[in-house]
């Protein structure tokens, strides 16, 4: 208790300096936490992906479609439990700035494959019964004030024309990693409308989503699916949902790396700031450390006092930074909800904040500790007076 008392009183001996240092740490930890949250948000889709789902797409590129007829062949592959399919619709709601993801999916199998989208039985039935129905995520419906029964018109970009949909369900994510900003409707509605318009793009799907009976067989099943379509006109590439999501992220890998780099630079800068504070402290207290030594305090006890003081300052700043990360992330998340449907402060980000705090506190104390332990008592006492 006595030592803790000394640490806290020493830490606040120069109130303004300590306040500014704590403020710096708070801002740095806040920035670090937010940048880590950005990175987590980027990987949001990966986190939400299931080990028992595969995605089958054209081996050439995602923009090339696959025939609808593949669904029956995929179903026959050993280990396949459910097959669903979909197309990226790319519709615009009123204005392009109102961007959100919208898909045409095979509704029944899709809901079966994605149990993390929670819909009431009434909403599920209403969605399945109505060909023009769509389901929206809770955040998306809230964003535009949609209510059940509302008609929403999307302007097609890939599939031209105005498309009317009726909101029949609002899903909630099973947990906070689930994207609640999606819009999905019946693939049949899209396909039949295209048929009416005599489009050449009928019976074509963007990708298949495949549910496997056992996650440990996912790779084996993926290889079997691709083997089935080898040497066909539309060869497939099947991968786990996680790998599929990661392939999207790899396109923006440089940006993620840059964010990661900046997050570490922030920590390095604050280490320098705290180290400077601790060095000033050391210079002012050389005499006191000599007195402690004179009284019989050994080097490790003095080291403990310096490291302890550094940790007190750092942990106070870090605690404030971590506490502030949550409301600030909520505000930033709202501002960026068009780009990051899931923008939650991950537990991992908090652990990284804490690890960064400890590293800052320890590194900043290294030089003053080394010097104070090494200083000869007679030299230290000469600095007094």
Partner 1 sequence: MAPIVEIIDVSKSYRRGNRTIPVLADINLNIEEGEFLALMGPSGSGKSTLLNLIAALDQVDSGAIRVGGIDITALSENELAEWRAVNVGFIFQFYNLIPVLTAFENVELPLLLTGLSRRQRNEHVEMALRIVNLEERMDHYPAQLSGGEQQRVAIARAIVTDPTILVADEPTGDLDKVAAREILELMDRLNRESHKTIIMVTHDPRAAEKARVIRRLEKGFLNDVHSQDPH
DSSP structure string for 172-186: EESSTTS----EEEE
| Using rule CB under 8 A, residue 36 touches partner 1 | no
Distance of alpha carbon 270 from alpha carbon 263, whole angstroms? 11
Using the minimum distance from each CB to partner 1, give the nearer residue, 168 or 285: 285
Q: Is the dihedral of CA 207, 209, 212, 218 positive or negative?
A: positive
| Using rule CB under 8 A, residue 297 touches partner 1 | yes
| Using rule CB under 8 A, residue 381 touches partner 1 | yes
| Using rule CB under 8 A, residue 291 touches partner 1 | yes
Using CB under 8 A, which of 4, 9, 120, 157 touches partner 1? 9
| Using rule CB under 8 A, residue 376 touches partner 1 | yes
Distances (CA, A) of 224 to 66, 73, 209, 221, 277: 17, 11, 15, 5, 62
Using CB under 8 A, which of 116, 226, 235, 288 touches partner 1? 288
| Using rule CB under 8 A, residue 4 touches partner 1 | no
| Smallest separation, CB 139 to partner 1 (Å) | 52
Using the minimum distance from each CB to partner 1, give the nearer residue, 121 or 385: 385
Using the minimum distance from each CB to partner 1, give the nearer residue, 2 or 16: 2
87: CB partners within 8 A, 6+ apart: 65, 103, 104, 187, 190, 204, 205, 206
Distances (CA, A) of 366 to 177, 271, 318, 360: 40, 11, 19, 10
Of 9-17, 130-138, 154-162, 171-179, the window that binds partner 1 (rule: CB under 8 A) is 9-17
Using the minimum distance from each CB to partner 1, give the nearer residue, 251 or 295: 295
The number of CA neighbours under 13 Å toward the Cβ of 120 is 8
SS (H, E, C) 25-53: HHHHHHHHHHHHHHHHHHCHHHHHCCCCE
Using CB under 8 A, which of 277, 293, 337, 356 touches partner 1? 293
Backbone angles phi, psi at 138, to 5 degrees: -55, -45
Distance of alpha carbon 171 from alpha carbon 177, whole angstroms? 14
- 38 DSSP β-pair partners: none
Using CB under 8 A, which of 67, 90, 156, 287 touches partner 1? 287
| Using rule CB under 8 A, residue 10 touches partner 1 | yes
Give me the 156-175 binding string for partner 1, x by CB under 8 A, dash otherwise.
--------------------
- 59 DSSP β-pair partners: none
379: CB partners within 8 A, 6+ apart: 290
| Using rule CB under 8 A, residue 16 touches partner 1 | no
Distance of alpha carbon 9 from alpha carbon 309, whole angstroms? 9
| Using rule CB under 8 A, residue 2 touches partner 1 | yes
Of 4-12, 56-64, 204-212, 358-366, the window that binds partner 1 (rule: CB under 8 A) is 4-12
Distance of alpha carbon 127 from alpha carbon 149, whole angstroms? 11
196: CB partners within 8 A, 6+ apart: none
Using CB under 8 A, which of 120, 250, 294, 338 touches partner 1? 294
| Using rule CB under 8 A, residue 304 touches partner 1 | no
| Using rule CB under 8 A, residue 384 touches partner 1 | yes
Using the minimum distance from each CB to partner 1, give the nearer residue, 90 or 299: 299
| Smallest separation, CB 51 to partner 1 (Å) | 57
Of 101-109, 153-161, 270-278, 288-296, the window that binds partner 1 (rule: CB under 8 A) is 288-296
| Site for partner 1, rule CB under 8 A | 2-3, 5-6, 9-10, 13, 287-288, 291-299, 376-378, 381, 384-385
């Amino acid at each position: 208790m006595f030592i803790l008392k000394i640490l806290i009183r020493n830490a606040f001996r120069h109130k303004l300096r300590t306040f500014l240092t704590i403020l710096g740490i708070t801002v740095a930890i806040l920035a670090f936490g937010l940048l880590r949250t950005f990175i987590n948000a980027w990987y949001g889709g990966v986190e939400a992906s299931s080990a028992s789902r595969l995605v089958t797409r054209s081996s050439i590129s995602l923009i090339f479609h696959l025939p609808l007829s593949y669904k029956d062949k995929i179903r026959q592959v050993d280990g396949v439990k459910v097959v669903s399919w979909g197309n990226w619709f790319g519709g615009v709601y009123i204005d392009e700035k109102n961007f959100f993801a919208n898909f045409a999916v095979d509704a029944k199998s899709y809901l079966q494959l994605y149990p993390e989208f929670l819909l009431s039985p009434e909403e599920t039935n209403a969605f399945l019964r109505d060909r023009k129905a769509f389901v929206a995520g809770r955040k998306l419906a809230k964003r535009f004030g949609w209510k059940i029964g509302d008609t929403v018109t999307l302007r097609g970009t890939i599939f031209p024309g105005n498309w009317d949909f009726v909101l029949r369900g609002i899903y909630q994510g099973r947990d906070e990693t689930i994207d609640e900003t999606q819009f999905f409707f019946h693939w049949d509605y899209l396909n039949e409308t295209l048929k009416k318009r005599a489009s050449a793009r009928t019976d074509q799907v963007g990708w298949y989503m495949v549910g496997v009976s056992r996650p440990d067989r996912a790779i084996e099943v993926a290889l079997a699916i691709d083997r089935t379509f080898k040497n066909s006109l539309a060869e497939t590439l099947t991968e786990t949902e996680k790998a599929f999501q990661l392939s999207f992220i790899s396109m923006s890998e440089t940006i993620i790396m840059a964010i990661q780099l900046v997050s570490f630079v922030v920590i390095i800068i604050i280490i320098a700031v705290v180290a400077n504070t601790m060095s000033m402290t050391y210079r002012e207290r050389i005499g006191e450390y000599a007195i402690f030594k004179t009284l019989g305090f050994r080097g490790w006890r003095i080291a403990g006092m310096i490291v302890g003081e550094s940790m007190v300052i750092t942990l106070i700043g870090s605690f404030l930074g971590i506490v502030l990360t949550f409301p600030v992330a909520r505000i930033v998340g709202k501002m960026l909800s068009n780009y990051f449907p899931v923008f939650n402060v991950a537990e991992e980000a908090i652990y990284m904040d804490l690890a960064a705090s400890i590293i800052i506190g320890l590194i900043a104390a290294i030089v003053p500790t080394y010097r104070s332990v090494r200083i000869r008592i007679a030299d230290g006492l000469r600095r007094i007076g």
